[in-house]
Chains A and B, each alone.
Chain A
């Protein structure tokens, strides 16, 4: 009889020890492992990075909601080494995710010397979508236009900027 009690006691201790091990592992794995979502804050100060993309707001203010709009983006090499094969992608989409009307533009710079700033001009289509029916300003949401620019170069350096145009 003592053997049964002893066996049950030891088994219980073993079970509890294993459960504690599980909980320990869970607490190690369940912590804040996810990186915080990048927060958009235009006023945030940025450290000088190797590849820096700039979309000056004054250039955005000149854009009209029409085709054939010219927008110049600035690319700066803030590093100490020359960057090669600098790819610049500009995607223009509507805020309306049901009808995004994606328009994509691409340019490549063969090289960008240290401390050099290059300007890249795109001709983009900012014409408004053709409404399927008569628009009702009282009900239809006013969608914003999104210009997402991504720059990347060999060596894994990259930068991203998103401009949002109010209707």
Chain B
């Protein structure tokens, strides 16, 4: 028994073709699914060579002090702090969207696994003692796209936060160290506990073990299994002593990864890698304002199974390190620093397996920000984002409106390293 006649096939085909062609005829021809807002940033190969060298392209334009860039876990958006408030935008679009009010006072923002943002908000009247971080709250912000337009869903994730970090590439896991003020103490943020945030609407995991000292840096390993943090004991200056702690997040087991010599300090957060824990360290005394012999910071490594930090040979003896960030695969380290004290600041990539350093930028005339938070990897490890601006002391005149300028102000730059 036949279910249909062959003579009916052409008619059926015609009907099918007409139905399938309707979207095209009605003007819905775009199939990319990736509509960018506003002006699209051209690829580095199509644009002019920036002062940071070939293969580098600006990701942001216009006035403002930009900092703390973070690429979303999907690799589609970038969030950053602009003059104290948080904005985000499609990675390669020029226009951005403010997330917070302009007087927010944000220090940083980190992506959560659900593409929400954890934003630091300073806590009023809780300034820490000299040399201790000022506690802040972490606010979870999620953008809800509804039929009535977009709306922000904001909730407080944690308070009394003194350090926070995520896995490189972002999104895998976010962690904070919450300070626990001693009863009867007036301010200050000595001690704390590790907490882990897995999303703006997921429960917070709290590790009950108290951390002694002031936590000054925190990062998450690329696989999300460990938190590495720096704890400073004593009162600061030459009497300070830094410990590096290694938390296993699955069961909260803590291991003292290293204890630094007295008087030696760590800049930023130590980074867990496949070849051990890396950090930027130097003598604490020489960092004083106006010191004739400022501290020269260099890169150290604590090999697996050892508690003794050793200078990293692959960068060269004279290398001055400023900030580091481990790649999402754990095999490379982005390093902002100088070949020697007289050379310009550049971005380098250290291959950890071979211990070889390769310059990723060829900067001669730009100021590259050296704050540890001003360095971020793309989730796929193909690029690194840094913040830089043209260095000039006198006036400069440009043939474009201010909102189209990049080098005139601190801007985000993508540096291909893949």
The interface residues of chain B lying within 8 Å CB-to-CB of A100 are 63
Query: Distance in Å from the Cβ of A134 to the closest Cβ of chain B?
Result: 13
The interface residues of chain B lying within 8 Å CB-to-CB of A40 are 398-400, 404-408
Q: Say yes or no: is A96 at the interface (Cβ < 8 Å to chain B).
A: yes
The interface residues of chain B lying within 8 Å CB-to-CB of A6 are 6, 9
Q: Say yes or no: is A130 at the interface (Cβ < 8 Å to chain B).
A: no
Tell me, in angstroms, the Cα distance from A6 to B289 when the chains sit together. 84
The interface residues of chain B lying within 8 Å CB-to-CB of A96 are 63-65, 83
Q: How many B residues are at the interface, by size bracket?
A: 35 or more
Q: Determine the main DSSP class of B at the interface with A.
A: loop
Query: Distance in Å from the Cβ of A23 to the closest Cβ of chain B?
Result: 6
Query: Distance in Å from the Cβ of A17 to the closest Cβ of chain B?
Result: 8
The residue of chain A having its C-beta at the shortest distance from the C-beta of B82 within the complex is: A97
Across the interface, do B398 and A164 meet the contact criterion of CB distance under 8 Å?
Answer: yes
Q: Say yes or no: is B418 at the interface (Cβ < 8 Å to chain A).
A: no
Across the interface, do A162 and B32 meet the contact criterion of CB distance under 8 Å?
Answer: no
- Of the candidates A23, A38, A141, which one forms a contact with B404 in the assembled complex, judged by CB atoms under 8 Å apart? A38
Tell me, in angstroms, the Cα distance from A69 to B401 when the chains sit together. 22
Across the interface, do A26 and B29 meet the contact criterion of CB distance under 8 Å?
Answer: yes
Tell me, in angstroms, the Cα distance from A61 to B395 when the chains sit together. 6
Across the interface, do B29 and A29 meet the contact criterion of CB distance under 8 Å?
Answer: yes
Tell me, in angstroms, the Cα distance from A144 to B405 when the chains sit together. 13
Q: Say yes or no: is A80 at the interface (Cβ < 8 Å to chain B).
A: no
Q: How many A residues are at the interface, by size bracket?
A: 35 or more
Q: Which of B382-418 contact A (CB under 8 A)?
A: 392-402, 404-410
Q: Say yes or no: is B103 at the interface (Cβ < 8 Å to chain A).
A: yes
Chain A 48-91, CB-CB to B under 8 Å as 1, else 0, gives: 00000001010011010000000000000000000000000000
Tell me, in angstroms, the Cα distance from A38 to B409 when the chains sit together. 15
From B36-44, B250-258, B337-345, the one touching the partner chain is B36-44
Chain A 13-43, CB-CB to B under 8 Å as 1, else 0, gives: 0110110011101100110101111111110
Query: Distance in Å from the Cβ of A78 to the closest Cβ of chain B?
Result: 15
Q: Say yes or no: is B47 at the interface (Cβ < 8 Å to chain A).
A: yes
Tell me, in angstroms, the Cα distance from A17 to B13 when the chains sit together. 12
Across the interface, do B39 and A35 meet the contact criterion of CB distance under 8 Å?
Answer: yes
Q: Say yes or no: is B3 at the interface (Cβ < 8 Å to chain A).
A: yes
Across the interface, do B84 and A37 meet the contact criterion of CB distance under 8 Å?
Answer: no
Across the interface, do A160 and B401 meet the contact criterion of CB distance under 8 Å?
Answer: yes
Given contacts A42-B396, A57-B397, A60-B397, contact A162 B6 (CB under 8 A): no
Tell me, in angstroms, the Cα distance from A160 to B102 when the chains sit together. 28
Q: List 4 A-B pairs, minimum CB-CB distance, nearest first.
A: A40-B398, A26-B31, A60-B395, A25-B29
Q: Supply 10 further A-B pairs (C-beta < 8 A) apart from A39-B47, A143-B65.
A: A18-B21, A22-B24, A22-B31, A25-B30, A32-B42, A34-B39, A46-B399, A96-B65, A162-B400, A166-B395
Interface residues of chain A, those whose CB is within 8 Å of chain B, are: 1-4, 6-7, 10-11, 14-15, 17-18, 21-23, 25-26, 29-30, 32, 34-42, 44, 46, 55, 57, 60-61, 63, 93-100, 138, 141, 143-144, 146, 148, 150, 160-166
CB-defined A-B contacts under 8 Å, sample of 22: A3-B2, A3-B3, A3-B4, A4-B3, A4-B4, A14-B16, A14-B20, A18-B20, A21-B24, A32-B40, A34-B40, A35-B39, A37-B39, A37-B404, A39-B400, A93-B63, A97-B63, A98-B82, A98-B84, A141-B65, A163-B396, A164-B395
